[in-house]
């Protein structure tokens, strides 16, 4: 288990980011950058905080999701539709490297805060624009939530049981994938800036990154005229591949993407004769015999506890994983060895566990300096750093601009 360290030691220390986005894809991209040491300022409306502050579970009235999503971000309020809020935002953009926003296309321009205005103040600025369907096209002004992307990307159509409805994930999958794509795009634009000296606009449509992760569905339709059907936990590419229940009521997942693993599994469960069947030599052919293979593997697993199954598969060098929930993840020795779970001291709730950055670096590793801050907690401090006097901040607050 890891503990928080000084964010100034992170690989992106010195990078200045303004997070003016809400809900998940944009804020999560900013979180990834902050985890690696970037200085992130979260901008929220004075009376309408980021809705993610009210999503999910809470403890003693304190939202828990925000503690993760808002980590490593100082929080500032500004009404960007007001003259004073525009003044604050322009001052922030002038001294920053990156601005992340997810307003409907055209909104920043309506407020006089489009890239033309921002880059006039700061030609090196990278503006990352995250929306459901991108900055152009007939759907550009539609509300853009991850659920819509999961539906329109093909994900829902290929997920679920064969005789069941299309299935959506129980979490923000498309937003999470889009956050990774946005962070990657920002770093790409910053790399280009090293050569050109100029910033540019990043246009992330939430529907596109998840589509890119779903394999060759477009090419298959183009070349064969077929679409991937729903197969539940099974795969159309190999078998056995499923989740199976153990004798003590747990579940394990088995994968046989490699031919050698498939052979080891069948020998382990006492059905070596199946390996000699002509159809067993190719994954797609094994998938056509999934009923027979699942019966063999599932029957063997059902007579053993989870620990017995995992130990036997490991000894046979076959691929198995227990199906975990949060309780198992926190207790697992591999996650402990990796330092996946970080313990952070939160001012409101005390010691708090959360998942850490996405990867490790041998130098300048990712850090969690602090958990999500209260709404507007750092407004006075940040505006003071930008040169606003205490009197001017008071005027802006009186006018409802901050």
User: Two tokens at 241?
Assistant: 């591949």
User: Could you tell me if 357 and 331 are in contact, meaning their C-beta atoms sit under 8 angstroms apart?
Assistant: no
Report CA 192 to chain centroid distance, whole Å: 24
What CA–CA distance (Å, rounded) separates 164 from 185? 37
CB-count burial class (<10 Å; 0-12, 13-18, 19+) for 354: middle
Contact criterion met (CB below 8 Å) for 369 and 6:
yes
Report d(CA 151, CA 167) in Å as an integer.
9
Whether 93 contacts 125, CB under 8 Å = yes
Question: From the centroid of its chain, how far is CA 336?
Answer: 21
Respond yes or no: is residue 175 known to be catalytic: yes
The tokens describing 343, both together, are 């313990």
Smallest CA-to-CA distance from 201 within 147, 148, 136, 111 is with 136
Alpha-carbon distance values, 148 to 21, 76, 131, 155 (Å): 18, 30, 11, 10
If we measure between CA atoms, which residue out of 63, 11, 2 comes closest to residue 34? Answer: 11
Please state the φ and ψ torsions of residue 138, each to the nearest 5 degrees: -70, -20
Number of H helices, E strands in the chain: 17, 14
CA–CA separation, 266 vs 250, rounded Å?
Answer: 21
* Alpha-carbon gap, residue 322 to 251, rounded angstroms: 6
User: Quick one: CA dihedral 90, 91, 93, 94, positive or negative?
Assistant: positive
Alpha carbon distances (Å) from 383 to 46, 75, 108, 305, 391 = 14, 11, 21, 59, 11
**Active site residue: 175, 294, 365, 378, which one?**
175
Sheet containing 2-3, strands listed edge to edge, beginning at the edge strand earlier in sequence: 2-3, 341-346, 350-355
Enumerate the active-site residues: 175
């Amino acid at each position: 288990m890891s503990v928080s360290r000084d964010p100034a030691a992170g690989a992106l220390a010195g990078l200045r980011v303004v997070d003016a986005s809400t809900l998940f894809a944009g804020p999560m991209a900013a979180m990834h950058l902050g985890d690696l040491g970037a200085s992130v300022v979260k901008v929220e409306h004075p009376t309408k905080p980021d809705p993610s502050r009210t999503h999910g579970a809470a403890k003693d009235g304190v939202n828990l999701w925000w503690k993760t999503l808002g980590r490593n971000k100082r929080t500032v309020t500004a009404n960007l539709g007001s003259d004073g809020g525009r003044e604050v935002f322009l001052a922030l953009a002038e001294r920053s490297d990156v601005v992340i926003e997810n307003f409907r296309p055209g909104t920043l321009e309506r407020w006089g805060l489009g890239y033309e205005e921002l880059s006039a103040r700061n030609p090196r600025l990278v503006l990352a624009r995250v929306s459901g369907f991108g900055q152009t096209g007939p759907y550009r002004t539609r509300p853009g939530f991850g659920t819509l992307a999961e539906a329109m990307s093909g994900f829902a159509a290929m997920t679920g049981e064969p005789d069941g409805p299309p299935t959506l994930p129980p979490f923000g999958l498309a937003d999470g994938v889009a956050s990774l794509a946005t962070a990657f795009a920002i770093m790409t634009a910053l790399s280009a800036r090293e050569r050109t000296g100029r910033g540019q606009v990043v246009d992330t449509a939430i529907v596109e990154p998840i589509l890119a992760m779903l394999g060759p569905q477009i090419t298959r339709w183009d070349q064969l005229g077929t679409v991937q059907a729903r197969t539940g936990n099974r795969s159309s590419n190999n078998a056995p591949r499923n989740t199976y229940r153990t004798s003590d009521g747990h579940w394990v997942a088995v994968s046989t993407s490699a031919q050698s693993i498939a052979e080891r599994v069948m020998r382990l469960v006492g059905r070596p004769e199946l390996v000699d069947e002509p159809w067993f030599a190719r994954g797609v052919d094994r998938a056509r015999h999934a009923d027979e293979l699942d019966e063999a593997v599932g029957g063997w697993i059902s007579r053993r506890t989870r620990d017995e199954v995992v130990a036997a598969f490991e000894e046979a060098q076959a691929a198995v994983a227990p199906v975990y929930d949060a309780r198992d993840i926190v207790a697992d020795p591999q996650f402990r060895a990796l330092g996946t779970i970080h313990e952070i001291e939160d001012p409101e709730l005390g010691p708090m566990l959360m998942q850490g950055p996405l990867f490790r670096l041998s130098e300048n590793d990712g850090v969690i300096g602090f958990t999500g801050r209260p709404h507007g907690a750092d407004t006075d401090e940040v505006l003071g750093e930008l040169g606003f006097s205490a009197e001017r901040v008071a005027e802006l607050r009186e006018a409802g601009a901050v």
